Structures are given as structure tokens and as C-alpha cells.
Structure 1
Amino acid sequence: MKLSAIQVKFETSKYQALKRYAAKKEVSLEQELEETLNRLYRKLVPPDVREYIEEGDDIEKTGKPKVKKKEKESEKEQNQAEQPQDSQSV
């Protein structure tokens, strides 16, 4: 997965205050910004587009596409339906 750098302009005095109080609370500004961007991504990007992007990332990592949960469940149900059921009469 490739990463992109993002630059934003922010008022210097506000940035200095933010850095100071983040350090006091032992909070990483970079981590907080990443979490905020991820929330914004989930809010604005439609689920089907996010899924498409994630599948592309999975193919890039493993060389094979990720199987969706719903597909796994339906395959499992089909396999169970196709298997003969052993029933015992009393």
C-alpha cells in the first residue's frame, strides 16, 4: 500500500498550543490526525468504493482477492444444503 503525504495550513499559534497540550497529555498528533482522516474517509467514501479499494490492497499484499464474509457464509450454507443429512428414526 502506497502512502501519501498531506500538507495543511494551520494558524501558527493554534498549532503551537496544540503541540504543547498534546505533549502534556502524551498524545501523538500524527496518530490523532490519521484517526481523524480515517473517520472522514469512512464518512465520505461510499462502502462499495472502500470495499473495492480494500480488495485491491489485499490482492497487492497476498496476490489473491479477499473473499467477502457474505460470500463465505452463502458458500457454507450451500455446502451444508448439498450434503446428505443422516436422519435416524426411533
Structure 2
Amino acid sequence: MKKTSVSIMYEDEKLNAVKMYMEQRDLDFKEELEKSVDTLYAKYVPANVREFIDMKGSQVKTPKPKKPKPQEENTEVVT
């Protein structure tokens, strides 16, 4: 599934503090943030919609077969 970037404004000192204390516990800020967004997704998006999105995402896109290019004849005249 295609991913997108999310950007928010947050107080610099608070962000630095949370990253520092998470680092002390060997936790990754980005991973924890992704878990939080997943929790919001599960909480607010209805189950049937989540199932539909999961089904769409699991469908393997098969590449369209390419049409063979017609071979050009060698029209060079040798004299």
C-alpha cells in the first residue's frame, strides 16, 4: 500500500524530551508514533471499511502484458 508523510507542529523542547527518554528505554520514536496512528485508525475507522481497505491492499496487481513491438525491416540498400 502506498505510504504518505504526516507532518505536525509540536513544541521543540517536549519533542526532544520524549525522544531522549524513549531512547533510554531503547524505543524508537517513529515506530511508537506509527503504533499510535494505527490505534487511532482502529478506533475511528469502522471495521467494514478497514476490511475493505485491507482487501484492496492485499490484491496483487498483475502487470499488463506488453504488446510486442513490430520488428522493423532492414531497408538499407547496399551498392
**Any runs of at least 4 consecutive aligned residues in structure 1 with deviations exceeding 2 A, and if so which?**
none
CA distance in 1, matches of 2:55, 2:61: 10
Q: TM-score normalised to the size of structure 1?
A: 0.65
In the TM superposition, what is the alpha-carbon distance from 1:48 to its structure 2 partner? 0.7
Identity of aligned residues (%): 31
Is there any run of 5+ residues in structure 2 with no aligned partner, and where?
63-79
Number of matched pairs: 62
Q: Give the Cα–Cα distance (whole angstroms) in 2 for the partners of residues 28 and 46 of structure 1.
A: 29
Q: Which amino acid aligns with 1:26?
A: D
- Following the alignment from structure 2 to structure 1, what is the Cα–Cα distance between the partners of residues 40 and 61? 27
What's the offset of the Cα at 1:19? 1.1
Cα displacement (A) at 1:53: 0.4
The CA distance in 2 between the partners of 1:16 and 1:35, in whole Å, is: 19
TM-score, normalised with respect to structure 2: 0.73
Which is higher, the Rg of structure 1 or of structure 2?
2
What's the counterpart of residue 22 of structure 1? 22
For structure 1, the 5+ residue unaligned runs are 64-90
What RMSD, in angstroms, separates the aligned Cα atoms of the two structures? 1.2
Q: Could you tell me how far apart the structure 2 residues matched to 1:42 and 1:13 are? A: 30
